[in-house]
Structure formats: C-alpha cells, structure tokens
C-alpha cells in the first residue's frame, strides 16, 4: 500500500499527487493548474517543496515525475502567464523576469537533487514540460508520448533550460529542428535520437538498480556529471530571461490568448 509523503502541515498538495510506497520510489504525479496538467504558479511552488522534502530524508529511492490522466503536461499554464504578462505591462519587465527566475530555480532544484530523477512520460510533453523533463536524469516514455518546443511561435525564447540542456542530450541538428521549427517528435524517434531512454519496462528495471546503490555516491556522481555544464547553463538562463524581458512583452499576451482559443 502506498503512503502519502508528509506535506507541509499548513496545507495539502494542490497541483501534485505525492506517494512513496514502502521499498519503492517517490512518485510525483502532475495534475497542474488546469486541463492538460498545465504548469501555473502553484505548481512551481509545490515542485520546489516536494524536492526539498525528498532531500530532507535519506530514505532510498528515485523521484519519478509523471503526469495525470494520459498526458504528461501541455506546458506552461497560459491563462496564468497572460495574467502575469498584463501585470508586467503595468509594472515593468522586472515582474516577468522575477517569474522566469522563480521557475528556473524550481527546475534547477530538481536537476540538483541528490536523488536520481526519472521522467515517466505519457502523451503530450510540450513547452515548459519538455524543459522540465530535460532537467531529469533519465526519461522513459510510452508509445503515445510526443514532444514539442513551440515557444518561437509565441515570440518567446525558451528560458527554463531547454536550450541549454537539449544539446547535451541530442545532436545539434535535431535540437535546431525542434527549437527553430517547433514540430513534434514522437516516442519512437525520441528514443532513436536519445531524448528518451526506453519504455515502461526499462524504467522499472533502472529504478530497481538505482535503489540498490548508495545514496551518497549517487548524489556525488550527479554533481560530477553536472559540474562541467553549470557555468554555461547559468549564463544561458540569464541571457534568455533578459532577451524575453526586453523584446517579448509587446503582443505576447495577445498571441498567448489566441493560442488558448485553439485549445
């Protein structure tokens, strides 16, 4: 029987389902802030909190991140983001930059977790959701999974780490195809090009092997693997936020509202 991970005493999880079966892995299921498990402000707060809770215990197990109801996530909650954009238009771009850095920090915290972080992907995984899974250590996907990074259509530079992490996973040509063209990549091709590591059976086998390893060693191995990339990652994240703040505000709310109408 699964037991719920202890949430902060003052409230329950709003955008996540969090369980940790005895002898198993910490499973974090994204419900998000709207249809398609979209990722609005409360999600990013709770993501940071669940990672912090996982870091506070030496209980063995990976952190497995997945979506609810046959969809990983449609990406950023555009309704929430349009509201933030309109506030930024009134108060200045610093509001937008602060939001972006908060989201970046949540993803960076996940990437820097001492635990092995596994993305278990079914259905759509687009935009900010794709940037999120790029920060996981490994990615496994169902045959129904598909991936896209459509930020360019909205006049945005992806600023949550996808542009910096994707080239570590894929060849340069594939990254440019995905980023510049905004098209879809299905599960079969995603596995061929190295975006995902395999399917559900592979995930089960991998997570079982991870549980048998010393946690302190796993954490240090992750630090060693990440260290050569940290400076360039930080520089790229900052550059993307500054560009969006300076160039993307005009008309962005209109484009996002139009995209919402197509959903």
From the list 151, 172, 191, 224, the catalytic residue is: 151
CB atoms within 10 A of CB 56: 9
Number of Cβ within 10 Å of residue 3's Cβ equals 9
Task: Please say whether the beta carbons of 114 and 218 come within 8 A.
Answer: yes
- Give the span between the Cα atoms of 8 and 197, in whole angstroms: 34
Cα–Cα distance, 253 to 128 (Å, whole number): 17
Instruction: Please work out, in degrees rounded to the nearest 5, the angle formed at the alpha carbon of residue 80 by the alpha carbons of 122 and 256.
Output: 80
To the query of whether residue 131 is one of the catalytic residues in this protein, the response is: yes
DSSP, res 14: S
Alpha-carbon distance of 93 to 88, in angstroms, equals 5
- Of the residues 131, 191, 230, 231, only one is catalytic, namely 131
Q: Which two tokens stand for residue 104?
A: 């970046």
Active site residue 151: yes
Residues with catalytic roles: 131, 151
């Amino acid at each position: 029987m699964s037991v719920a991970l202890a949430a902060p005493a003052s409230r329950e999880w709003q955008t996540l389902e969090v369980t940790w079966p005895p002898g198993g892995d910490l499973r974090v299921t994204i419900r998000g802030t709207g249809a398609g498990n979209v990722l609005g402000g409360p999600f990013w707060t709770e993501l940071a909190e669940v990672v912090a809770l996982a870091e506070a215990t030496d209980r063995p197990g990976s952190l497995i991140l997945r979506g609810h109801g046959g969809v990983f996530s449609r990406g950023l909650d555009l309704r929430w983001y349009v509201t933030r954009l309109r506030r930024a238009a009134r108060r200045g771009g610093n509001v937008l930059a602060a939001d972006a850095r908060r989201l970046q920090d949540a993803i960076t915290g996940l990437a820097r977790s001492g635990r092995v972080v596994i993305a278990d992907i079914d259905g759509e995984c687009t935009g900010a959701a794709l940037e999120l899974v790029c920060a996981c250590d490994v990615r496994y996907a169902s045959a129904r999974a598909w991936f896209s990074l459509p930020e360019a259509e909205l006049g945005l530079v992806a600023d949550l780490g996808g542009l910096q992490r994707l080239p570590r996973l894929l060849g340069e040509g594939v990254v440019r195809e995905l980023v510049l063209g905004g098209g879809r990549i299905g599960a079969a091709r995603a596995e061929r090009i190295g975006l995902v590591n395999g399917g559900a059976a592979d995930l089960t086998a991998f997570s079982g092997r991870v549980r048998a390893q010393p946690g302190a060693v796993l954490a240090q191995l992750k630090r060693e693997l990440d260290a050569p990339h940290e400076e360039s990652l930080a520089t790229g994240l900052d550059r993307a936020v500054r560009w969006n703040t300076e160039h993307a505000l005009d008309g962005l709310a209109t484009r996002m509202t139009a995209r919402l109408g197509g959903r």
